[in-house]
Amino acid sequence: EAPGTEQELTDGFHLVIDALKLNGINTIYNVPGIPITDLGRMAQAAGIRVISFRHEQNAGYAAGIAGYLTKKPGVCLTVSAPGFLNGLTALAHATTNCYPMILVSGSSEREIVDLQQGDYEEMDQLAIAKPLCKAAYRVLHAQDIGIGFARAIRAAVSGRPGGVYLDLPAKLFGQVMNAEAGQKSLVKVIDAAPAQIPSPASVKRALDVLKSAKRPLIILGKGAAYAQADEEIKSFVEKSGVPFLPMSMAKGLLPDTHPQCAGAARSTVLKESDVVMLIGARLNWLLSHGKGKSWGEAPKRFIQVDIEPREMDSNVEIVAPVVGDIGSVVSAFNQAMASGWTTPPADWTKAIVSKREENVAKMAPKLMNNKSPMDYHGALGVLKNVIKDHPEAILVNEGANTLDLARGVIDMYKPRKRLDVGTWGVMGIGMGQAIAAALETGHPVLAVEGDSAFGFSGMEVETICRYNLPICVVIFNNDGIYRGTDVNSVNADPATTVFVKGARYDKMMEAFGGVGVNATSPDELKRAVNEAMASRKPTLINAVIDPAAGSESGRIGNLNPQSVLQKK
């Protein structure tokens, strides 16, 4: 070729980066290594925020919750086989929770993997990922990178959101092609999650059923929070006059202190209601499958609003299914109700208010106790006020007692501020979710962690310090899983549920330059958390909790199978 006529070239690395940028994806959660180390470097150089974690599972949980918070797929990038498998738990978790996420993983050479000739980190990753996510794709040619990402993005966010796997073999990154043709091969995804308008008949049916109720209830789930239709939902609930019960991550969609909130009268409303409208909440184990003791004797009729048609009748008959996206459905409700609506009978709403006030009053004194070592309520009373004073702050929460009691005690005031263990009750989401929440929103994060729960992702305190994030981790340290008092009566090994007594988790934070505090009383805890909120410095508070304070499995001890043979 004559000088000056060489063609401009691009390659797989650059096309991946360009595809992400073109689609407005500006953060990658990753752990570097072969074959994606340079991809991370180049992405960073190209202006993408590349957040490197210590373990892929935490990067994956970060990506999943980033998707939940932003409605754009969170991207997690991993190395082959072991890195991929570490990220896979988070991909499955995202799918289970309906969070849009893409796990992008480097992989080994197809020719060698398929003949099982023992390549470096050999594994048929695509086949393994497939049953654990919404969709799985592999790109073999540089010119297909654009289409590969477009398919992944669309699959993650359209319909019911979920996890998508994208397999990128090492060889792809180095493939070279003409730069102009490369640019043309990229796809900017138009209208990735199109509105899904409900049928007018389904809207009318649902409102007719709701109208006919004597004791109606609305249950708001995290799908409703995800939808970002906050104002429409608020208008609908308020206009309807129907009491609402938030599932844990829907807390704050309307404030927990709202006059119609039935959160503190949960068992009453489940038992006594005659019509229940589910908005973005599944009738899974968290709602006792819509039947049995917790739902009482009175016959129920269910209305369900969900984007996924197959969710209807999954556990019980749905008399009024409304399939559509929550924003469109609720605005159709609002329009139909504009011509007139009668609020539910006052004896029902008043009965709920008085039950709720009774429960709140019963709890109040427990929250003010100043015991040392602390019990859960004493410590949570402090944190309840922190969130009241900082309603913008994001609460991340995991553990058993630490989870269940914090859910009840800490009122939320704004949508999508409470991030927790989700549908699987998984331990380990803590630091990943805290990091993504801080990065994606810029708001301070309060992570309230059981000491066991924290252990699943504890090494990421280094990541928190490295990126200097406004995260305050409070560890409820009761020396173990559920409690710290179990004893092994057979040999010298510690009981299976207990940890080193008196451990000082605060020292871990200090090791990386953050602020560590050991808090033995509610007063000390209050001072330390307020200080962290004001300074926005990475902080870890070891909150010493009475080892005897917890109960087995928190509020779900009934799910533990019992041995009839075990001698007590």
Handedness of CA 335, 327, 389, 396 (dihedral sign): positive
When the beta carbons of 80 and 478 are compared against Mg ion, the nearer one is: 478
413 binds ligand OXT (CB under 6 A): no
Residues between 468 and 527 that touch Mg ion (CB under 5 A): 478
For the CA atoms of 174, 179, 183, 184, the dihedral, rounded to the nearest 10 degrees, stands at -110
Q: What are the φ/ψ torsions at residue 90 (nearest 5 degrees)? A: -70, -35
Min separation Cβ 337 and ligand OXT, Å: 28
Cα(82)–Cα(104) distance, integer angstroms: 14
Task: Tell me which stretch binds ligand OXT (CB under 6 A): 21-29, 301-309, 399-407, 507-515.
Answer: 399-407
Residue 455 contacts Mg ion per CB under 5 A: no
Decide the pairing of beta strands 539-544 and 515-519: parallel
Q: Is 304 in the site for ligand OXT (CB under 6 A)?
A: no
- φ and ψ at 393, to 5 degrees? -65, 150
- Binding of residue 421 to ligand OXT (CB under 6 A): yes
User: Is 327 an interacting residue with respect to Mg ion (CB under 5 A)?
Assistant: no
Q: How many residues bind ligand OXT (CB under 6 A)?
A: 37
Binders of ligand OXT among residues 458 to 497 (CB under 6 A) are 476, 478, 481-482
SS3 243: coil
What is the rounded CA–CA span in Å between residue 472 and residue 517? 11
**Is residue 408 a contact point for ligand OXT (CB under 6 A)?**
yes
Site membership for ligand OXT, residue 428 (CB under 6 A): yes
| C-beta of 40 vs 408, nearer to ligand OXT | 408
Q: Is 407 in the site for ligand OXT (CB under 6 A)?
A: yes
Which entry of Mg ion, ligand OXT, ligand ADP, none binds 313, CB below 5 to 8 A by partner kind? none
Residues forming contacts to ligand ADP in the complex (CB under 6 A) are: 97-98, 160-161, 221-223, 226-227, 247, 249-250, 280-282, 284, 286, 306-308, 311, 325-326, 423
Residue 160: phi and psi, rounded to 5, are -75, 120
> With binding defined as CB under 6 A, does residue 453 bind ligand OXT?
yes
Binder to ligand OXT among 20, 133, 326, 403 (CB under 6 A)?
403
Among 34, 85, 197, 360, binds ligand OXT (CB under 6 A): 360
Q: Give the dihedral sign, CA 455/459/463/468.
A: positive
Span interacting with ligand OXT, options 33-41, 226-234, 508-516, 548-556, rule CB under 6 A: 548-556
* Angstrom distance (rounded) from CA 449 to CA 477: 9
Helix residue ranges, H only, 98-219: 110-114, 125-129, 145-157, 170-174, 179-185, 200-211
Strand 216-220 vs strand 515-519: parallel, antiparallel, or unpaired? unpaired
Q: Give yes or no for residue 252 binding ligand OXT (CB under 6 A).
A: no
Task: Tell me which of ligand OXT, Mg ion, ligand ADP, none is bound by residue 264, counting a contact when its beta carbon lies within the kind-specific cut-off of 5 to 8 angstroms.
Answer: ligand OXT
Q: Is 280 in the site for ligand OXT (CB under 6 A)?
A: no
User: Which has the closest alpha carbon to 541: 507, 512, 513, 511?
Assistant: 507
Smallest distance, ligand OXT to C-beta of residue 530, A: 22
State yes or no: residue 412 binds ligand OXT (CB under 6 A): no
**Is the Cβ of residue 96 or residue 183 nearer to ligand ADP in the bound state?**
96
Classify the C-alpha dihedral 62-430-294-358 as positive or negative: negative
User: Could you say which of 328, 402, 457, 539 contacts ligand OXT (CB under 6 A)?
Assistant: 402
The residue within the footprint of Mg ion, chosen from 11, 451, 506, 524 (CB under 5 A), is: 451
Cβ-based nearer residue to Mg ion, 14 or 377:
377
User: Would you call 404 helix, strand, or coil by DSSP?
Assistant: helix
Write down the H helix ranges in 442-521: 451-455, 461-466, 506-511
Closer Cβ to ligand ADP, 119 or 325, answer by number: 325
Q: How far is the CB of 440 from ligand ADP (least distance, A)?
A: 18
Which residue, 457 or 478, has its beta carbon nearer to Mg ion? 478
What letter would DSSP give residue 480?
B
Indicate the residue whose CB is closest to ligand OXT.
450
Q: In the structure encoding, which two tokens stand for residue 76, read together?
A: 């997690």
* Sequence-distant contacts of 420-424: CB under 8 A, at least 24 apart: 420/248, 420/249, 420/396, 421/397, 422/93, 422/96, 422/97, 422/222, 422/249, 423/96, 423/97, 423/282, 423/284, 423/286, 424/93, 424/96, 424/97
Does position 363 interact with ligand OXT (CB under 6 A)? The reply is yes
407 interface partner picked from Mg ion, ligand ADP, ligand OXT, none, CB below 5 to 8 A per type: ligand OXT
Rounded Cα gap, residues 384 and 396, in angstroms:
13
- Give the interface with ligand OXT as residue ranges (CB under 6 A): 248, 263-268, 286, 359-360, 363, 399-404, 407-408, 421, 425-428, 450-453, 476, 478, 481-482, 550, 553-556
- Give the interface with Mg ion as residue ranges (CB under 5 A): 450-451, 478
